[in-house]
Amino acid sequence: MARSSKLYHQFIHIRTFVNAKVKWVRDPDLDIAVLKEKDLKEIISLKNHIVSSPSKSLSIYNASMLKSSLNLPTTTIKFVEKHRHVFTQFQPSPGLPPRVKLTPQALSLHNEEMAVHNSETNRQDTARRLARLLMLAGMTRLPIYVIEKLKWDMGLPYDYVTTLLAYYPDYFDVCVVEDPMSGKEVLALELVSWRKELSVSELEKRVMYYGAEKRRLDIQFPMFLPKSFALEKRIKTWVEGWQKLPYISPYENAFHLDSNSDQAEKWTVAILHELLSLLVSKKTERENLICYGECLGLGSRFKKALVHHPGIFYISNKIRTQTVVLREAYRNEFLVKKHPVMGMRYWYIHLMTKG
Domain spans, the chain: 2-35+216-337, 40-103
pLDDT, position 2: 39
In DSSP terms, 88 is beta-bridged to 101
Phi, psi dihedral angles at 82 (to 5 degrees): -65, -35
Highest mean pLDDT among 163-177, 203-217, 229-243: 163-177
Summarised one tens digit per residue, pLDDT across range 10-47 is 444 456 665 567 788 899 999 999 999 999 999 999 99
Would you say 76 and 64 are in contact if contact means Cβ atoms under 8 Å apart? Answer: yes
Domain 40-103 class? mainly alpha
Average pLDDT, the chain: 90
- Per-residue pLDDT band for 9 (boundaries 50, 70, 90) equals very low
pLDDT, position 304: 93
Least confident range of 1-5, 7-11, 197-201, 276-280: 1-5
Backbone CA torsion sign across 294, 167, 187, 138: negative
pTM of the model: 0.92
Average pLDDT over residues 302-307: 95
Average pLDDT over residues 51-61: 94
Average pLDDT over residues 279-293: 97
Phi, psi dihedral angles at 85 (to 5 degrees): -85, -10
pLDDT, position 216: 65
pLDDT at 265 over 90: yes
As a dihedral over the C-alpha atoms of residue 28, residue 32, residue 35, residue 41, rounded to 10 degrees, the angle is -140
pLDDT, position 355: 64
The whole-angstrom separation of Cα 13 and Cα 310 is 24
pLDDT at 254 over 90: yes
pLDDT at 212 over 70: no
In the chain, how many H helices and how many E strands? 15, 11
Average pLDDT over residues 186-192: 95
pLDDT, position 309: 93
pLDDT at 354 over 60: yes
Supply angle C-alpha 42, 114, 59, rounded to 5. 50
